[in-house]
Amino acid sequence: MSLLELIARADGRGLAASGTACLDRCLPPPEDGADPEPLRPLWAGCESGAEWAARLDAVHAALEGAAGRDTTAARVRTLIGAAPRDFAAGPLRAWADACSLLALDIHRESDFPAGDSTRTAEACRADGAAGGGPLCTGELRRQAEILESLAGTAGTAGGATGLRRALDLSTEGRRVLRAVRSRRARGRGRPGGAT
């Protein structure tokens, strides 16, 4: 099943977790003393939507300082601000779709010169990243794996297992992206991979 089909079929829980995971992977490394997991409140609300609106507000506020220093953090904060207040599949679907595109766009921008840099995130997603670089291709695969894992545990006693798997996949992806961006920043003589 394609990524677009997985997004179209996902329930509210899957969409919330998928969107959160996409944004989580894209955040830059925290500065000293900053919360290393600023999206943790959203992860905690993905299972049932408990206090979803309040959790969005908390995360938006937590990202305020980082967004002023880093363009990627600002893009993530903008999407947190645009997230639907209601934990319902309809509005969450549009938000998760936007989060998917942002994550793909950031991975495409950070890709080493192995793909076609003129291709948009929409084009990569529509055709399975044909011609895309390894970061973009890996991100497409990761997004699909997360949605499949969440769909496989929806409405079951193992629901928390699906969320844990989504978090693990996202954490792995965040490490990969940060490592690439850090290497690139060092090559340019800039600290920490800020963009």
**pLDDT at residue 113 is higher than 70:** no
**Higher confidence at residue 47 or residue 23?**
23
**pLDDT at residue 176 is higher than 50:** yes
Task: Assess if residue 194 is contained within a domain.
Answer: no
pLDDT of residue 195: 46
- Print burial letters for 4-37: b (CB count within 10 Å at least 16), e (below 16): eebbeebebbbbbbbbbbbbbbbbbeeeeeeeee
Task: Assess if residue 88 is contained within a domain.
Answer: yes
Per-residue pLDDT tens for 88-109? 999 999 999 999 999 999 998 8
Lowest-confidence pick of 128-132, 172-176, 181-185: 128-132
Give me the percent of the chain exceeding a pLDDT of 70. 85
Distance (Å, whole) CA 104 – CA 38: 21
**pLDDT at residue 69 is higher than 80:** no
Lowest-confidence pick of 7-11, 109-113, 127-131: 127-131
Per-residue pLDDT tens for 129-172? 556 788 888 999 999 999 999 998 776 655 678 899 999 999 99
Task: Assess if residue 135 is contained within a domain.
Answer: yes
Per-residue pLDDT, averaged over 69-80, amounts to 91
Instruction: Say which amino acid occupies 78.
Output: T
Per-residue pLDDT, averaged over 74-101, amounts to 96
Task: Assess if residue 195 is contained within a domain.
Answer: no
User: pTM for this structure?
Assistant: 0.88
pLDDT of residue 108: 87
How many structural domains are present in the chain?
1
- State the DSSP string of 25-60: HHPPPPPTTS-S-TTHHHHHHTTT-TTHHHHHHHHH
Task: Assess if residue 68 is contained within a domain.
Answer: yes
pLDDT, mean over the chain: 86
| Residue numbers of the domain that contains 135 | 3-188
**pLDDT at residue 187 is higher than 80:** no
